[in-house]
Amino acid sequence: MSDRNKFILLFIVLVIFRTIFGFSQPFFSPDETQTYLIGLKAYTDHIWPFYGPDLIVTETGFYTQIPGALEGLLVGGPFYVLPIPEAPFILLNLMSTSVIALLAFYISKRVKEIPFLFIFAWIAILPWNLHESANIINPSWLLFGSVFFFIGFLEAIPETSLKMLTPFYAFACMGFGLFWNMQFHYSWVLLPPFIATAFAWRLWRKTLRPLPEIGGLFVGSLISAAFLIPTLVVFGFNQASSGMGLAVHFNFDNLKAFFTVLARFFSLVSYELPRFLGTGTHERWETVIHFPLMFPPALFLFVVGIAQAILLFVMIFFKDRKHKDWLAIHIITGISLLLVWASFWFTSKPPQAHMYYILLPLISVYSFYIYGRLAVDKRWRIFGVICLVASFWFEGTFMIQQMPVSSLYTNRAQVAKALDQKDYKILGERRPGSHN
């Protein structure tokens, strides 16, 4: 079988697997239902969704909506093509799997020791990628914008560029990713420092040509910001940008949380299972022991996940003789970690990992530089395949366990009825105070 056909086959398998996995995840939980309702209401009432995700700060009771139409269009738009409850899941997973393939291809050009198809499968079923980008919840769309953003960023830095993109297109990717993610989650505030770093680095290296860089940033921004501009025109900038309820003067508790941020930072690209098995040790243990088929891969991947996070942290201090750009990649990763830590000093939110999930593509690039050192040994390559098989095994059994518990299929008929009768209220009401 040719490499092209192998890729097509793997792509189809992963799209199907990830889509079915998305079906199995909590649907009738408040946040998931409200996300779905934004698009469903736009479809049934034929309205433009000026606002997207609800933002609720439980620590302060603050509530607002993130401006921009992308979420409403991406959830509601597919119903015009295929008016069935599953339609938004299908589009989401086609998009997320496609962008994972792009990221895997890009990494394979940087780390030639690991085959593209292996990287593709590995990233596609990482716990954070699978659980956070396959279900209808606003962070699921962050991956799409982030992959474009960080490929553009790495192509804009002279020391890390593969010359796959001109400066114009590199900055266009950053602009597109910034305004795409701005409409889904307030973690977008982590991205502008990377744009500033790219400009400063190019100026330092005397490669800055302001016209293509600024022009590319503007054009790329305009593509995704086009879905934000109507909200700003209709509601005004002040009302549309009301997310400052997250800010505080200084959060000393988050200053002390460096090691928490550190552990969670590298766990984003590791087999971190506990986060998705329940809210506490007892609940997680119950989840595993009530489904014996899940226990062997869960135990194996739990141990591997801890080892991965430790390895990724320790190896940041070691020289990589196989890759000329290793130092730049390590420095960028280290600075990103410090940026995440510092960003929590001025927010009321605790340093939860989902708030820097937006950086996952960048950390993934770094992780494969580390795995590339191991891949030269056949024993480590075999171990990598074992991890991949265990991951499919665990996530497959988890999917089977969850499907009858909290998925769309616990009451699909209700969603279908709302679609058929063009009445979103059959599924539920939007939160009080929501714009749409």
pLDDT digits (tens, 9 = 90+) for 35-76: 999 999 999 999 999 999 987 765 555 678 899 999 999 999
Q: Provide the H-helix boundaries in 257-406.
A: 258-267, 274-277, 281-289, 295-314, 326-343, 360-374, 378-406
pLDDT tens per residue across span 418-428: 999 999 999 99
Please report where in the chains the tokens 């050192």 appear, as a residue: 373
| pLDDT tens by residue, 218-230 | 999 999 999 999 9
- CB neighbourhood size of 201 (10 A): 19
Per the CB < 8 A criterion, the answer to whether 212 and 171 are in contact is yes
280 phi/psi in degrees, rounded to 5: -150, 170
Summarize the confidence of residues 318-338 as an average pLDDT: 91
Instruction: Indicate the pTM of the whole model.
Output: 0.93
The mean of the pLDDT values for the chain is: 90
Write down the pLDDT at residue 61. 57
Q: Which two tokens stand for residue 4?
A: 């092209």
Query: How far apart (Å, rounded) are the C-alpha atoms in residues 17 and 24?
Result: 11
* High-pLDDT (> 90) share of the chain, %: 72
For residue 205, give the amino acid letter: R
- pLDDT digit string, tens, across residues 290-324: 778 888 999 999 999 999 999 999 999 998 888 88
> Which H or E run contains 53?
strand 51-57
HSE (side-chain half, CA atoms, 13 Å) at 194:
33
- Asked if 95 and 425 touch (Cβ cutoff 8 Å), the reply is no
- Alpha carbon distance 160, 332 (integer Å): 10
Separation between Cα atoms, residue 179 and residue 315, nearest integer Å: 33
Reported residue count of the chain is 436
DSSP per residue, 165-188: S-HHHHHHHHHHHHHHHTTT-GGG
- What pLDDT does residue 150 have? 98
Residue 247 — pLDDT band, cuts 50, 70, 90? low
pLDDT greater at residue 101 or residue 263: 101
pLDDT classification of 256: cutoffs 50, 70, 90:
confident
Rounded to an integer, the average pLDDT of 151-176 is 96
* Cα 242 from Cα 147, distance rounded (Å): 27
Burial code (b: 16+ CB inside 10 Å, e: under 16) for 214-230 equals: bbbbeebbeebbebbeb
375: nearest Cα among 122, 117, 123, 111: 111
At 60 the pLDDT is: 55
Query: 102-119 pLDDT, tens per residue?
Result: 999 999 999 999 999 999
Taking residue 86's Cβ as centre, other Cβ atoms within 10 Å add up to: 18
| Rounded distance between C-alpha atoms, residue 127 and residue 125, angstroms | 6
Say what the pLDDT of residue 233 is: 92
Opening angle at CA 314, ends 313 and 315, nearest 5: 95
Residue whose C-alpha is closest to residue 308's, from 382, 389, 371: 371
Q: Which two tokens stand for residue 151?
A: 């490929």
Count of CA atoms in the C-beta half-sphere (13 A) of 77 = 11
pLDDT of res. 253:
74
CA-CA distance, 148 to 154, in Å (whole number)? 10
Give the tokens for residue 345.
């000093």
- Single out the residue of 323, 305, 313, 325 nearest to residue 363, CA to CA: 313
